[in-house]
Amino acid sequence: MPCRVLRTSLPSVRELLRRAPKRLEVEHVTTLLSVEDPNDVAEVIQRADALRREQTGDAVSFVINRNINFTNACIKRCGFCAFSRTPRGMHKSETYYLPLEEIARRAREARDLGATEVCVQAGLPPGASADLYTRVASCIKEAVPNIHLHAFSPEEVLYGAQLRGVTTNEYLKLLRDAGVDSLPGTAAEILVQEIRDKISPGRITVSQWIRIAKEARLSAGLRMTATVMFGHVETPAHIARHLLTIRALQHEVGVFTEFVPLGFVHWEAPMCREHDPRYLAECRDGPSPAQRLLVHAVSRIVLGDCIRNIQCSWPKESPEGTIRLLQAGCNDLGGTLMNESISSAAGAKHGQVMTPREMRRIATAAGPERYLIQRDTLYNILHREPSCALDEYAGTKGNLRFGSFHELLKSNRFRFHDALRSETANGTSRNRSTWVRSRAPDAVQ
């Protein structure tokens, strides 16, 4: 008599989708992220898109913003990061640092082109003054008082607090009072410590990242985004743990405005280059097309009832890939950016500026019912038929008009060591900006 194998498998994909998201555990989310059967993949994507329609409608949102990555000098050596340079290393000639005047100029130019947001992130420069980040924030707010300043990841908050000799809780209030309006939720990568220890030893820990997210909302009244980086050495189970950590944190403090899956760009990443001491043999060449779809779709399924906005990061995707993600649970295209350094440094080929005109083309290509809307950073709707000066100014020559990361590396302008010498000679007190938010809330608004 043939032996019958008793099936003790997890619930079917259809059953998991029916019960989602409230009764999903790590193993259930792992199953959804691991499906391979084309019918199961299609069912996951269809369910994500149906939830997107229920939760956010057919609008595809975006924000007119500009990235200002003011320095690539960094004390950390993360294996996934091709952006940073060590000022004393073999690439020290490629280390740049934008002075406050240039940061202010870029912010004013962004405003004149219709931007409502400036996003500021950078490396962790060695030898930085204790008031580095508050001076950058004040400088921008003096130049463009009404712009939304979306600035400084939890990693930068931690570094700034250490420079200042205060707690992160206290430092978040200093940033808020200097003009910061919300925080980018990068430096998350995978919120699983054993993976962080492998790809970025010495980086902000999981517990520190979570603590700063809580403090941002509860103590400083600031909102924040959330991200996940996938397609490197993580497994579906690690992504599942990350998603459920974000979900629990959102239910606890309500800090996140959006969730952004970030596909790993491997081309220039140190941990994918055999000659680099940070090389990891098990590192994959970024996510597969199927994984890109599943991670975005499952993010909608797991998080959509508490984080309505699931964003696709167009600098890491082709236009065609971005359209597919809008059909797999995403409702937001992120920002126009104008400058993009992180993905470009890693070898992404999808440009550094996307105009509202191009975003409209992508939105409508995702379905005849889809349409583009302009939002602000906190997802207040601004315009149903958006257009701005950026459409004509950028055209197809965004790199030429705004400058690029690779041009900064080659240029003799804005060298890190020159900036450091200048700041030391002048004294940071001379450069200290005086803009302070006139009314800064002490409690969550």
Other beta carbons within 10 Å of 241: 20
pLDDT in tens, 110-155: 999 999 999 999 999 999 999 999 999 999 999 999 999 999 999 9
Question: What is d(CA 82, CA 133) in angstroms, rounded to the nearest whole number?
Answer: 23
- 184 preceded by a cis bond (ω within 30 of 0): no
Reduced to 3 DSSP states, what percent helix, strand and coil does the chain have, rounded to the nearest 5? Answer: 45, 10, 45
pLDDT 10s digits, 340-363: 766 666 655 556 789 999 999 999
pLDDT confidence of residue 389:
81
First to last CA, the chain: 70
Instruction: Give me the count of residues in the chain.
Output: 445
Element (H, E) at 63: strand 59-63
Eight-class DSSP state of 330: -
Closest CA to 258 of 184, 207, 323, 191: 184
Which of 242, 288, 293, 286 is CA-nearest to residue 267? 286
pLDDT at 417 over 80: no
9-18, 94-103, 172-181, 435-444: least confident range: 435-444
pLDDT at residue 429, as a whole number:
39
What is the percent of the chain with per-residue pLDDT over 70, rounded to a whole number?
87
Report how far residue 430's alpha carbon sits from residue 423's, in angstroms, rounded to the nearest whole number: 9
Which range, of 80-84, 199-203, 308-312, 394-398, averages the lowest pLDDT? 394-398
Calpha distance 157→219 (Å, rounded): 14
Which sign, positive or negative, has the C-alpha torsion 2, 8, 10, 15?
Answer: positive
Mean residue pLDDT of the chain comes to 89
Supply φ then ψ for residue 67, to 5 degrees: -85, 135
In this structure, whether the domain defined by 32-425 belongs to CATH 3.20.20.70 is answered with yes
Parallel/antiparallel/unpaired status of strands 223-230 and 332-335: unpaired
Pairing mode of beta strands 371-375, 381-383: antiparallel
| 283 neighbors 271 (Cβ within 8 angstroms) | yes
Distance CA 194, CA 206 (A): 10
